[in-house]
Chains A and B, each alone.
Chain A
């Protein structure tokens, strides 16, 4: 079983603040995905990163893939109440294999 650690587990911040969520593994990923999940719903894909050192931006969200492809981070600038939700990283460890291994998640609450 692959171990994928996410931190922090819980995060409560004021609207307008910045935050970073981390995802780490002892094994090399072939790719890393970030999902967001709202209560009562399934996870929805935000981004996929494949190349070591890759940086992707999605409006106020910045995703980074570590150079060694063992870690990733999600940075949110000027958080808004609409960003509230559970953020999950999910790793593929084999190219061409669809199985995803999920981190434990970061539950973010943005207070207006």
Chain B
């Protein structure tokens, strides 16, 4: 009963380093998305995908890349980490049609020093 799995749970990066946040879901959902959560700002959409091979930008895409080679996986790449990217990152998945309940992972707390 895994649902949405994110790794790692915690990460510290130095400015300029790159890394990939992993996200996998086992519910066969077509729609997947990445959010960042900052104090007082709620969750903001970074990138999303409506199916394998299809990705698009959300509200705050700068500094992040995504790809969707399979239905299950939706990794988020930070190309050159900046202190402004310190945040908690959440991956979510949902069905494209019908119920649009979003199922979230447990989050990755990223600190960029």
> Could you tell me which A residues sit within 8 Å of B by CB distance?
1, 4, 6, 9, 31, 33, 35, 40-45, 48, 88, 90, 92, 96, 98-105
Residues of chain B in range 10-56 having any CB-CB distance to chain A below 8 Å: 31, 33, 35, 40-45, 48, 50
Chain B residues with Cβ below 8 Å from A48 are: 99-101
Interface size on B, residues (CB 8 A): 27
Cross-chain contact A33 with B101 (CB below 8 angstroms): yes
Question: Which chain A residue has the least Cβ–Cβ distance from B31?
Answer: A98
Report Cα–Cα, A22/B108, bound state, in Å: 28
B: which residues have CB within 8 A of A? 4, 31, 33, 35, 40-45, 48, 50, 58-59, 90, 92, 94, 96-97, 99-102, 104-107
In the bound complex, residues from chain B placing their C-beta under 8 Å from that of A41 are 106-107
The answer to whether A102 touches B43, judged by C-beta atoms less than 8 angstroms apart, is yes
Complex-state Cα separation, A35 to B94, whole angstroms: 14
**In the bound complex, do residue B96 and residue A98 qualify as a contact, i.e. CB atoms below 8 Å apart?**
yes
Partner of A9, one of B40, B43, B58: B40
CA distance A53 to B87 in the complex (A): 36
Name the A residues within 8 Å of B96 (CB-CB). Answer: 98
- B42 to A1, Cβ gap below 8 A? no
